[in-house]
Structure 1
Amino acid sequence: MPTLFRPCIDLHAGSVKQIVGGTLSDSTDPAIASTLQTNHTSEHPASYFSLLYKKHNLLGAHVIMLGPGNDAAAYEALAAWPGKLQVGGGITERNAADWIGAGAEKVIITSALFPNASFSMDKLQSILSVVPVSQLVIDLSCRRRPSTDGWVVATNKWQTLTDFEITKENIQLLEQHCSEFLIHAADNEGLQRGIDEELVTRLGEWCSIPVTYAGGGRHVGDLELVQKLSKGRVDLTIGSALDVFGGNGVTLDECVQWNKRQLTERNEI
């Protein structure tokens, strides 16, 4: 399989935004909230991007709700291209089926699996009681653990470090319970300083189901780099550097053309 470009719609306070991931917070303290770094706030509604991705047949897009106040925008995005978008952010066993009913192709689960910063198989089974494996994406977005060479899953807008490490064994444990993984490298997210090459390499070695990496993508050359490092087993999301999100590193058309070339070479379109 080739490495493909996977699009996104990140929602914050009801708007489509690109944010430096490490600056997100749940705090209501104005001093802390003011540290949020926003790269771009779009003038377009979420549905605009759904229709744009539909036009170019960019499959596997994820709609991520970063905090409260985003439900209406997410519903709007799903309605514009029903059955083709994944949705995540605040998804639990209580609302997962509702989001599928609202038109999500798949739901993305993160924090619900890690109560008290530890992984819960019981929580995963609860979610699978309402959503089948084929419609579940597990988000293992992570940060590097201080003083180590590894990564741990980060929840609650990437602010809470759990005790769940990104390892081959843990990947193998989870991939039998979901259809794919979404993994943001939160330390790289929104910075446009390059991808976490070691993480991408490990994901290519460890994952046997589809996996999408996000964080630090700057230009179309990063698609080539991810393909090389992962041997085509990892897809890449580019956000802040993309022209439709105010970036100047890569155009959506370049990403569309990349996907067409990869699929054409493998006789998949």
Structure 2
Amino acid sequence: MSPSATSRKSVFRPCIDLHEGQVKQIVGGTLSDHNIAGLKTNFVTSQSAGDFAHLYRENGLEGGHIIKLGPRNDAAANEALAAWPGGLQIGGGINDKNAKEWLQAGASKVIVTSHLFPDAKFSMNRLQSISSIVGKDKLVVDVSCRRRGDKWFVAMNKWQDITDMEVCKESLDFLSEYCSEFLIHAADVEGLCQGIDQDLVTRLGEWTRIPTTYAGGAKDISDLDLVERLSNGRVDLTFGSSLDIFGGILVKFQDLVARHAQSE
């Protein structure tokens, strides 16, 4: 890679994960419409989504995302967007019918996954439609994935269903013609606090040409340095269950804020 490719630093991107109207941290692989009893939750907060949006706004942490995991999350999502208009992206149930409404409600960008994969098969028409409706600059494609052997495939519907799209250079190059960012949860390690998927982060650093945020498994502030090194600074990192504001004991939010300030 050229020397200029190393000039960018990987930064912390905050998140607000909503489930049943509450801010939660969930072990991603346990989300299911069919086995509710199997859901594993690391943390449920008494604070509102708006409280977290205020916190991120006060600390200048831009580029964060709200993810609605299932129904009954719209009110909480709207509260967070109202707390920081233009400061947060939103995903979860986004489609070509409601995308503009969420932008009007204050989302900086909309994040889309499942809508692009009817019956778990990629739809070019749906991608072109939503990109033309909201504009490439307002669209984030979520290519959250699960590993199958030495490859990764996009997972949709709360990461339950594996689609026909492999996450690779060719697919990311293609998708980047219609969106301005990628969000990628490594669903197999999401919420486990056992470390990032280093192989995936390395590949993303080689493959991506647009801003990309990785989430899944981060357990130490040094993971930011690791992601920066593996991806050559091309991938940013989200911390969830390991973070003290989400009940974790491994990473302090204020340490991430200080680190973020140094990178600006």
TM range (shorter): over 0.9
- Match 2:72 to one of 49, 52, 69: 69
- The alignment status of 1:20 with 2:27, answered yes or no, reads yes
> Could you list the per-position Cα deviations for residues 149-168 of structure 1 after superposition, in whole angstroms to 9, with x for gaps in the alignment?
00000000000001100111
Match of 1:123 in 2: 126
Q: Which amino acid aligns with 1:212?
A: T
Q: Following superposition of structure 1 onto structure 2, how do residues 19-98 of structure 1 map, counting pairs within 5 Å?
A: 19-27=26-34, 32-98=35-101
Q: Percent identity?
A: 59
**Matches of 2:252 and 2:124, distance apart in 1:** 41
- Match 2:142 to one of 125, 139, 154: 139
Q: Which amino acid aligns with 2:100?
A: A
Q: How far does residue 257 in structure 1 lie from its aligned partner after superposition?
A: 1.0
Q: Which runs of 5+ in 2 are unaligned?
A: 1-7
> Could you list the per-position Cα deviations for residues 217-262 of structure 1 after superposition, in whole angstroms to 9, with x for gaps in the alignment?
0010100100110011100000000000000010111111111112
Q: Which runs of 5+ in 1 are unaligned?
A: 264-269
Q: How far does residue 111 in structure 1 lie from its aligned partner after superposition?
A: 0.2
- Match 1:105 to one of 97, 108, 128: 108
Look up the SS of the partner of 1:130 in the other structure.
Answer: helix
Q: Which amino acid aligns with 2:177?
A: Q
Look up the SS of the partner of 1:162 in the other structure.
Answer: strand
TM-score (structure 1 length as normaliser): 0.95
> Could you list the per-position Cα deviations for residues 78-105 of structure 1 after superposition, in whole angstroms to 9, with x for gaps in the alignment?
0000011000000000000000000000
Q: How many residues align?
A: 257
TM-score (structure 2 length as normaliser): 0.96
- The alignment status of 1:10 with 2:17, answered yes or no, reads yes
Match of 1:189 in 2: 190
Q: How far does residue 54 in structure 1 lie from its aligned partner after superposition?
A: 0.4
Q: Following superposition of structure 1 onto structure 2, how do residues 166-245 of structure 1 map, counting pairs within 5 Å?
A: 166-245=167-246
**Matches of 2:9 and 2:117, distance apart in 1:** 32
**Matches of 2:177 and 2:9, distance apart in 1:** 22
Look up the SS of the partner of 1:58 in the other structure.
Answer: coil
Q: How far does residue 129 in structure 1 lie from its aligned partner after superposition?
A: 2.8
Q: Which amino acid aligns with 1:154?
A: A
